[in-house]
Structure 1
Amino acid sequence: MKQKFVPTYEGELRKHALQIPRCISECSGIRVFGRRIKSLVFSTDVAIIKNINADAVIAVYNFTPQPSITQAIISVSDVPVFAGVGGGYTNGQRSVNMAAAAEQLGAFGVVCNAMITNDAIRDIKSMVEIPVVFTVVSEHVDLDKRLAAGVDIVNVSGAARTPEIVAEIRAKYPELPIIATGGPTDETILSAIRAGANAITYTPPSSKDLFAKDMQEYRDWYEAHRREVDEMLNEE
């Protein structure tokens, strides 16, 4: 089949924005409230969130979830946000309250970590209409009970074993929406997709790494044009 031509406009300033790996387009995507989501950027950095072409944001972090953080991320994001609501130290009624707050702030979904209780999932599901995403870190989790409690989507995060876990879940649940971590290369991303993932989370370079690269380019450019720059500054 002939590949379709896609006209592109980038501009001068925004063409330096981050791009997700193109191979992610090979997955089916998950349709949420009419929007088809294939790629989710795993980040809480608002500068990165504002400057990447992912379909959605998965905003989970290793601190107690707070509505102010969710609000800040949603306020700058141009795409749907799936907000973390805890499940470890933050659990039970606090997670339920966070889920309700996230929905009111405009989140497209809430993400529970692997330690969330089934009771908390049931209470969250009774409180919100947006999808409940449960993070799977092992194929040994009792997923039947999680789904019965109200989980709508699973988010597989099994490091190097992610494709194996995805394949096992897909074999048992042919139509379950599965998000999976894609890893650092096209090969690892495609492995997760071919195992059955419908959407992929992508971890972008850190602001530190991006800045280090830019600063080195600035230093190299200055050394190459130092005389002209110094003359221009002295003239002023």
Structure 2
Amino acid sequence: MLKFDAHGILVDTQAGDGGDSANRAGLWALLGHAQPLDLFEQKGFLVRHPFQEPWNHPGNFTRDQLLPYVAGLWRQGEIKAARRVFWRHLRRGFFAQNLDRDQPGTRKKPWPHRYRDDRDERAFSWFDFADPLMPDHIFHLILCARLWPLYIFGIFGYPWLLINIFGHGLFSRSDDEGQILSQCLRAGRPFVAFYRFVKPDYRESLRRYWDERRRMGEIADALIEQVEVNPRLQTLD
């Protein structure tokens, strides 16, 4: 059973935590269910949850939150917001916002350094930085923002997405399919069909993650239906 907070935002079913709400809300919107996505965005900056701490801190917004979220913006017809998000990432050199770890002030550094982790324990990292956006991620932003003059970037984005799908299907051990499916559903039916071909156990994978681990079986059902039927998605505006 899905759980929504007082603002209508999709949150973790068991704890009510909003750390993945941008991801969940964007994916749920992409699947045709309205979500208040405008609450997550301001001038192109995004947050995981607009009201819960530390998730209302822009510095911990990761790539895995970004990809389903912008797909949800596109599906709901919130194109201006999607464009603000694209231009903000362009100015940042196509890195995600997560220059910090979860807590504000826990800045990542691209050299060997010590830091305190989320349990307030000392830890060491050789290298840490914001998530980079690959060509398929960049083109996903372009598609979701309907930036027609930049569609030429598809000569890089589409092949990279095919490689990403292929690698994901053959080598990934993660059952979290939200990012790659957000990209496939936006890119179009041939990419969903290719995903289905290289990931024949996608039903089991989706059910393990969404139903067994997250107790969000409705999302698993909706994603499986989308992959099986593979309709041509359009904006709902």
TM-score (norm 2): 0.28
Higher strand proportion (structure 1 or 2): 1
Larger CA Rg, structure 1 vs 2: 1
By relative contact order (CA 8 Å, sep 6+), the higher-ranking structure is 2
